[in-house]
Amino acid sequence: MTTAPDPRSGILFTDQYQLTMAQLYFEQDLHERDAQFDMFFRRYPDYGRHQAGYCVAAGLEPLLDWMEWASFTAGDLEVLAAQRNRDDSPRFSGGFLEWLEANGDFSSIELHAIPEGRVVHPHAPLAIVRGPLAMAQILETALLAHLNYPTLIATKASRIWEAARGGSVLEFGLRRGPLWGANDGARAALIGGCDFTSNVGLSSSVGVDPKGTHAHSMVQVFMALGGGELEAFRAYAGLYPDDCVLLVDTIDTIESGVPNAITVFEELRAAGHQAVGIRLDSGDLAYLSIQAARLLDAAGFPDVGIVLSSNLDELAIWQILSQIDIEAPRYGVDPEALVGRLVYGTGTRLITSQGASSLDGVCKLVAVDDAEGRSVPAIKVSDNRAKTPIPGRKSVWRVYDRRGIATADVIGLIDERPGRDNTLELHDPFRQGVGRTLKSPDIAELEPLLERAFHSGSKTRPAPDLDTMRERRETDLARLDPGVRRLVNPHIYHVSLTDAVARLRSNLVEELVGE
Amino acid sequence: MTTAPDPRSGILFTDQYQLTMAQLYFEQDLHERDAQFDMFFRRYPDYGRHQAGYCVAAGLEPLLDWMEWASFTAGDLEVLAAQRNRDDSPRFSGGFLEWLEANGDFSSIELHAIPEGRVVHPHAPLAIVRGPLAMAQILETALLAHLNYPTLIATKASRIWEAARGGSVLEFGLRRGPLWGANDGARAALIGGCDFTSNVGLSSSVGVDPKGTHAHSMVQVFMALGGGELEAFRAYAGLYPDDCVLLVDTIDTIESGVPNAITVFEELRAAGHQAVGIRLDSGDLAYLSIQAARLLDAAGFPDVGIVLSSNLDELAIWQILSQIDIEAPRYGVDPEALVGRLVYGTGTRLITSQGASSLDGVCKLVAVDDAEGRSVPAIKVSDNRAKTPIPGRKSVWRVYDRRGIATADVIGLIDERPGRDNTLELHDPFRQGVGRTLKSPDIAELEPLLERAFHSGSKTRPAPDLDTMRERRETDLARLDPGVRRLVNPHIYHVSLTDAVARLRSNLVEELVGE
C-alpha cells in the first residue's frame, strides 16, 4: 500500500469539475492563457459562544511539497480515459489527455503566499496562484484543502495557547480526529500553539518528541490481575523513573490516585529521581487540581506538574483558571503557583475545531489574459456584496503604527507602492464610501505579507522549521492589539483596500450591472 | 513521496502512550496475556438544533486493510530507538524493540466488528479486539481513528439522504474538508447516503463515477474576455452535449442564468441531445427552484434536473422542501414534480459533520487473562456511571418484533444464547433496576450483529462493494421505527443488557467500591 500509487493522494485529489473545465479551456484554446486566482477566507471562525479575531496561517509547506511531485501519471490518465459520458463516448478527448500527459504538472504555476505561522485576516489573499488557466484551475481544490483545515486548526491551537497563560499545551486528538487528516491537524496545532503532540508518526516527521502518560487501562490491568493502582504506578515509575507522569483518576482522584502517586513519588525521590507530574482526566478539573496541589505541596512536591485533560478548549481552560484564581486561596493554595504548574492536554475540540468546524476559504479568478496577453481583471457580482471578490493583480501590506502594533492589512494593486507619500487612503472592502486616511506618524512600517513560494516546479526556499513558524506566530501576536486577541467578542481588525483597488472594483461592478 | 515509507501512515499512526504502556507490559511479562478491548460510542451526534437517533457504521474495511500491512518497520524501530528519557537514556529498551521487530504486527489480533453500512447504537460494541495485551493496546488509537470519523460522516450522510426524500445526494466537501481525511469522509458519505462525490481520486478507488458541473470561474473567464454567460454555456454544452448541467447564478439566476440555459438547452434539443440540468448555488434555493422550474416547464423542459448547493445539510434541505410544498402551488408549480427533479450537492456541512464534529467512540479494556489463562473481567468505576464500561467477553444481538421492526440491541455474554426460552430480561445499562421483559411474540428474530472480520493477519472475507454496504444501510433503516429516524428529537432506541451482563457488572462495581 505504501508503494502502490494511490489515486487518492496524487493530482486526482481534486473535484471533477476542475477537469471538465480544464478540458473546455483546452478545446477553446484558452488553457494556456495566463490567469490569476486568489485564495482568501471571508470570515474568522465563530465558535458560537466565542469568536476568533485573527487566524494563524498553516498548510503551505505540505502544499508546496505536493505541488512539487503531483502530476498526471499514466495511472491517473487511465482513470480519466475510462470515464464515459451518458452516450458512452469518452468524457475526455485523446488530445486533452495528451496535453495533460505533457503539461499536467505545476511547473508552470507561480504561487505567492503568506508564510506559515503568520497571523492572517479575512479577504486579504493567503495565496495567489498565477499560471496557465487549465493548470491553475486544476490546482484550486488541492490548494483550498491544504490551507483551509490547517489554518482552522492552527487558529484554534493559538486560542488555546492564549487561554493557557504560558502553560504547555499538548495535542491529543488523533483518536477522534478526521482519520488521516489528524496528521495535518496535529502539524497545524504544533505551528499554532501546541508544544507537543501524542501522535508518534507525525512527531517524527516534524522532529519533535511525542508526549504521553498512560491510560486507565494500565491501572485496570493491574486491578484485574489482583493488584491495584499503587502496583500499577510503581511499575510505571520503575520503568520511567525520570519521566513519570501518573494518571490519578481511575478509581478516585483525591482518595486514591493522588495519595498513591505521592507514595510512588516519595519512593522515586528516595532513589534519587524527580517525579514529573500527575494527570487529571475527569471531574471538576479546577477543584481537583487545587486539592491535588494541596496534597502534593504538603508532601513536599511543589514542582510536580499537573496535566489536565478531558474536553479542553480555550473556554474550558479559561473557566478552569478563573475558578482557580478565586477558589485556590480558600484552600491555602497560591493560585499563581498552581497555574504555573499546569499543563493542558487538548484533543477532540482542538483537532475538529469544535464549534466552527471549517474555514470558509475560497479560490477566486481575479484576472485572465486576453488574446494579446494583456491581463484583464475578472469579477463576479453576487446578490451578497461581501461575496464579490476583489479583482485584479494584487499585493497585501500590513501597516504598523509607532508602537509597532499592526493596525490594518491593506490590499493594493501589484504595481502600487502605498504610503510613499506618507499618507494612505483606506477603503472598507464592502461598504462603499466608508474609509479613513492614515498619515505619516500612523504608518511607521509597511510590511509586504506575500512571498514568492513556488516557481518553475519547486519551492523557492528550504522549508522553515517548526521553531521558525512558531516564532512568526509569537511575533505577530505580540504586535496585535490585545482587543483583537480577546477570546470573546474580539475587536474587528481592519482589512482595507487602497484607492486604486477600490476604484477598479467599483468600475467593474458598474460596467457589469450597467450591461 | 508515494514510494518512501511515511512514518505518519504506518504503525506509528498512534499515541505515544500506547508504546510506553506496551513496553511496561513487556517488562512485566504481561505483554502476551490475552486481552479484550471493546470499541463503542456513548452518545449519538447532537447537532444542537437537531439530533441523531441512530448511527451508520463505517470505516471497517480501510481499518482491516491497514491492519493487514501495518507493522513495525526498520524505520519505525529507528524512530523509537532514537527517543530519549529526560536523563538521556533510551526510552525503549533493546529487548522491547527486538520483541516489536519479531511480533509488532496484528497477526495475533482477532477482530469482531459490525459490518459497514449497518445501523448502530451507543454502548453496543462496534468492534471487539482480542489478542496479546501489548499489540491490542497498540491497535487502540488506529482503531478509533478508523471508525470514529467515518461513522460520524456516514451518519450525517444518512440524515441528509433522509431529508432528500429520494433525491440524489452528491458529496462536494473536499475543498473545506480535513485535508487527507476528506478522502475518508467522502467514502463514508457514499456508504451513508450519497450517490456520488466530486472527489476524483476517491471515486476511482471505490469504483463510482465522479460528478461535477462547472464553476463560476468558467463564466467569469468568458466575461473577462468579452463574451458572456451565454457563450460560456454554449461552449460547455458543445463539449458535453449529453451531460450538460449549467451553473446559472453567476450574474442573476432568474434574469440571466435560467434564460441563457434555456436558450442553450433548446439548441441542444435541436441537435438531438437532451439537457441534464441546471445548478443553483446561492440565494433562496426554494424560491429560486420554483421560479426556475416555471421557466423550464414553460420552455418544455419539465425533466431537466435542478441541482441545489450552498451550505446544505439535513435541516436546510428539510426547510427548502417544506417551503416548496407551501409556496410552489402559488406559482402554478406542482411541488411533488419539483421535489422529484431536485438533486442536492452537499459539501462542508457534511464532510465536517457540522454541529457535531466528532463521535465520542472509545476503546475500553473489558477482560484480561490471569497467569492461569482464565479471562478476568476488567472494570473502571467513574464518578459518572454512564462512563463505567460494560465488562467481560460479550456478544450483541438485535431484537426484531413480529412486524420486522428492530426494537432493541442487547448486550450479552459471549456464551449466552438469549431468547432461547422465548423470554428476554432486559436491563437498562445505566439505571439500576430499570428494565423490561420481552416475551415470545415480541422476539420474532434475534440477529447477532458482530462478525469475525480479522484473523491470523488477514481479513476473513473479501471486501464488500459499495452497493452491498448501501443495501445494509437501507435494509436497516427500513426496519427502524420512524420515530427513531426522525431528524429532530428522535425516539431513544433501546440498548439493553442481559441478566448475566447486568449481574456481572454490578458484582464487579460492588467489589471495587467495597474495597
Q: What is the pLDDT of residue B509?
A: 81
Q: How is residue A174 annotated by DSSP?
A: G
Nearest Cα to B216, choosing from B232, B227, B231, B200?
Answer: B232
Amino acid, res. A313: D
In chain A, residues with a C-beta closer than 8 Å to the C-beta of B83 are: 209-210
Q: How far is the C-alpha of A385 from the C-alpha of B412, rounded, in Å?
A: 60
Amino acid, res. B189: A
Torsion, Cα B221 B226 B228 B234, to 10 degrees, reads: -80
Q: Return all residues near B358 (Cβ < 8 A) that are at least 6 apart.
A: A176, A177, A348, A352, A354, B148, B149, B152
In chain B, residues with a C-beta closer than 8 Å to the C-beta of A141 are: 174-175
The percent of chain B in helix, strand and coil, each rounded to the nearest 5, is: 40, 20, 40
Establish if B198 touches chain A: CB-CB under 8 angstroms: yes
Q: What are phi and psi of B459, to 5 degrees?
A: -60, 150
Q: What is the pLDDT of residue B380?
A: 74
Per-residue pLDDT of chain B in tens (515 residues, 90 and over written 9): 334 478 999 999 999 999 999 999 999 999 999 999 999 999 999 999 999 999 999 999 999 999 999 999 999 999 999 999 999 999 999 999 999 999 999 999 999 999 999 999 999 999 999 999 999 999 999 999 999 999 999 999 999 999 999 999 999 999 999 999 999 999 999 999 999 999 999 999 999 999 998 999 999 999 999 999 999 999 999 999 999 999 999 999 999 999 999 999 999 999 999 999 999 999 999 999 999 999 999 999 999 999 999 999 999 999 999 999 999 999 999 999 999 999 999 999 999 999 999 999 999 999 999 999 999 998 776 656 667 778 888 999 999 999 999 999 999 998 888 877 788 999 998 888 899 998 888 899 999 999 999 999 999 999 999 999 999 999 999 999 999 999 999 999 999 999 999 998 888 888 877 64
Contact residues, A window 213-252, toward B, CB-based 8 Å cutoff: 213-221, 223-226, 235-236, 238-240, 242-243, 250-251
Q: Inter-chain contact B2–A15, Cβ cutoff 8 Å?
A: no
CA distances from A152 to A188, A351, A353, A484 (A): 8, 9, 7, 17
Q: How far is the C-alpha of A358 from the C-alpha of B355, rounded, in Å?
A: 11
Nearest Cα to B66, choosing from B36, B109, B98, B125?
Answer: B109
Q: Inter-chain contact A10–B21, Cβ cutoff 8 Å?
A: no
Residues A353/A153, Cβ–Cβ less than 8 Å: yes
Q: How far is the C-alpha of B339 from the C-alpha of B332, rounded, in Å?
A: 14
In chain A, residues with a C-beta closer than 8 Å to the C-beta of B370 are: 224-226
In chain B, residues with a C-beta closer than 8 Å to the C-beta of A383 are: 282-283
Q: Which residue of A has its CA nearest to B379?
A: A220
Q: Inter-chain contact B181–A181, Cβ cutoff 8 Å?
A: yes
Q: What is the pLDDT of residue A386?
A: 66
Q: How far is the C-alpha of A389 from the C-alpha of A364, rounded, in Å?
A: 7
Q: Which of B87, B214, B512 sits opposite A21 (nearest CB)?
A: B214
pLDDT tens readout for residues B117-149: 999 999 999 999 999 999 999 999 999 999 999
ipTM over 0.90: yes
Contact residues, B window 364-383, toward A, CB-based 8 Å cutoff: 364-365, 367-368, 370-371, 376-383
Amino acid, res. B30: L
Nearest Cα to A307, choosing from A263, A341, A273, A331?
Answer: A341
> How far, in whole angstroms, is CA B360 from its chain's centroid?
13
Q: Inter-chain contact A8–B251, Cβ cutoff 8 Å?
A: no
Q: How far is the C-alpha of B199 from the C-alpha of B214, rounded, in Å?
A: 14
Q: How far is the C-alpha of A206 from the C-alpha of A195, rounded, in Å?
A: 12
Q: What is the pLDDT of residue A2?
A: 39
Mean pLDDT, consecutive 10-residue stretches, chain A (515 aa), reads 70 98 98 97 96 98 98 97 97 98 98 98 97 98 98 98 97 98 98 98 97 94 95 98 97 96 98 98 97 98 97 97 98 98 98 98 96 90 70 93 95 87 88 87 92 97 97 98 97 95 87 67
Q: Inter-chain contact B172–A91, Cβ cutoff 8 Å?
A: no
Q: Inter-chain contact B137–A235, Cβ cutoff 8 Å?
A: no
Residues B20/A237, Cβ–Cβ less than 8 Å: no
Contact residues, A window 410-469, toward B, CB-based 8 Å cutoff: none
What grid cell was written down for A451? 512571498
Q: How far is the C-alpha of B448 from the C-alpha of B401, rounded, in Å?
A: 15
Q: Inter-chain contact B215–A17, Cβ cutoff 8 Å?
A: yes
Q: Inter-chain contact B221–A368, Cβ cutoff 8 Å?
A: yes
Q: What are phi and psi of A490, to 5 degrees?
A: -65, 155
Helix (H) and strand (E) counts for chain B?
17, 21
In chain B, residues with a C-beta closer than 8 Å to the C-beta of A146 are: 179
Q: What are phi and psi of B92, to 5 degrees?
A: -115, 130
Buried b (16+ CB within 10 A) or exposed e, A477-491: bebbbeebbebeebe
CB atoms inside a 10 Å sphere around CB A270: 8
Angle at B365 between CA B359 and CA B368, to 5 degrees: 160
Q: Inter-chain contact A12–B204, Cβ cutoff 8 Å?
A: yes
Establish if B202 touches chain A: CB-CB under 8 angstroms: yes
Q: Which residue of B has its CA nearest to A247?
A: B17
Q: Inter-chain contact B69–A2, Cβ cutoff 8 Å?
A: yes
CA distances from B134 to A21, B60, B94, B368 (A): 52, 22, 16, 11
| Residues β-bridged to residue B246 | B278
Interface test with B, best of A3, A28, A179, A223 (most B CBs within 10 A): A179
Q: How far is the C-alpha of B505 from the C-alpha of B515, rounded, in Å?
A: 16
Q: How far is the C-alpha of B190 from the C-alpha of B467, rounded, in Å?
A: 9
Contact residues, A window 315-374, toward B, CB-based 8 Å cutoff: 348, 352-354, 357-361, 363-365, 367-368, 370-371
How far does the CA of residue B418 sit from the closest CA of chain A (Å)? 27
Q: Inter-chain contact B223–A378, Cβ cutoff 8 Å?
A: yes
Q: Inter-chain contact B210–A368, Cβ cutoff 8 Å?
A: no
Q: How is residue B41 annotated by DSSP?
A: -
Angle at B321 between CA B320 and CA B327, to 5 degrees: 85
Q: Which of A85, A145, A203 sits opposite B242 (nearest CB)?
A: A85
**How many CB pairs below 8 Å do chains A and B form together?**
386
Q: How far is the C-alpha of B320 from the C-alpha of B185, rounded, in Å?
A: 25
Q: Which of A141, A150, A358 sits opposite B348 (nearest CB)?
A: A358
Q: How far is the C-alpha of A277 from the C-alpha of B46, rounded, in Å?
A: 35
Q: Which residue of A has its CA nearest to B66?
A: A1
Assign residue A114 a region (left: φ > 0; alpha: ψ between -120 and 50; beta: otherwise): beta
Interface test with B, best of A180, A205, A264 (most B CBs within 10 A): A180
Establish if A145 touches chain B: CB-CB under 8 angstroms: yes
Q: Inter-chain contact A174–B359, Cβ cutoff 8 Å?
A: no
How far does the CA of residue B448 sit from the closest CA of chain A (Å)? 27
In chain A, residues with a C-beta closer than 8 Å to the C-beta of B172 are: 15
Q: Could you give the 3-state DSSP secondary structure of residue B19?
A: helix
Establish if B200 touches chain A: CB-CB under 8 angstroms: yes
Pairing label, strands B110-113, B127-132: antiparallel
Q: How far is the C-alpha of B273 from the C-alpha of B251, rounded, in Å?
A: 26
How far does the CA of residue A421 sit from the closest CA of chain B (Å)? 33
Q: Inter-chain contact B24–A181, Cβ cutoff 8 Å?
A: no
Q: Return all residues near B267 (Cβ < 8 A) that are at least 6 apart.
A: B234, B237
Q: Could you give the 3-state DSSP secondary structure of residue B461?
A: coil
Q: Inter-chain contact A378–B221, Cβ cutoff 8 Å?
A: yes
In chain A, residues with a C-beta closer than 8 Å to the C-beta of B182 are: 145, 178, 181
Residues B509/B388, Cβ–Cβ less than 8 Å: yes
Q: Which residue of B has its CA nearest to A360?
A: B176
Establish if B397 touches chain A: CB-CB under 8 angstroms: no
How far does the CA of residue B12 sit from the closest CA of chain A (Å)? 5
For each of the domains in chain B, give its residue range(s) and CATH number, in order of start: 212-344 (3.20.20.70)
Q: Inter-chain contact B276–A20, Cβ cutoff 8 Å?
A: no
Nearest Cα to B239, choosing from A8, A27, A160, A404?
Answer: A27
Q: Inter-chain contact B236–A358, Cβ cutoff 8 Å?
A: no
